[in-house]
Amino acid sequence: MDRELTNLGKFLEKYEYTKREFSQESGVNESTIIKLCKDPSHFPIPKTIRKVMEVVRRIEPDVKASDFFDIKAP
């Protein structure tokens, strides 16, 4: 594999989700999902994180948002 994926991108590949399917299921725009899968410097707003994590946790209930996003406590 010659492309780097973020943890969300790896998750989608592992569970054979297309970005379009994940977008439809999460309610997050497909272009945002694409950025989240390919660009580790892209940081979504909290509402987007919640939507993404709702879908992720249906499959892996114990996963944390910090496993997918660079979340630092204040």
Give CA 23 to chain center in angstroms: 10
Alpha-carbon span 39 to 9, nearest angstrom: 10
DSSP 54: H
- Tens of pLDDT along the chain (74 residues) come to 447 899 999 999 999 999 999 999 999 999 999 999 999 888 899 999 999 999 999 999 999 999 999 876 55
pTM of full prediction above 0.75: yes
- Residues contacting residue 26 through CB under 8 Å, at least 6 positions apart: 33, 51, 52, 54, 55
Could you tell me if 12 and 60 are in contact, meaning their C-beta atoms sit under 8 angstroms apart? no
Alpha-carbon span 41 to 55, nearest angstrom: 22
Domains of the chain: 7-59 (1.10.260)
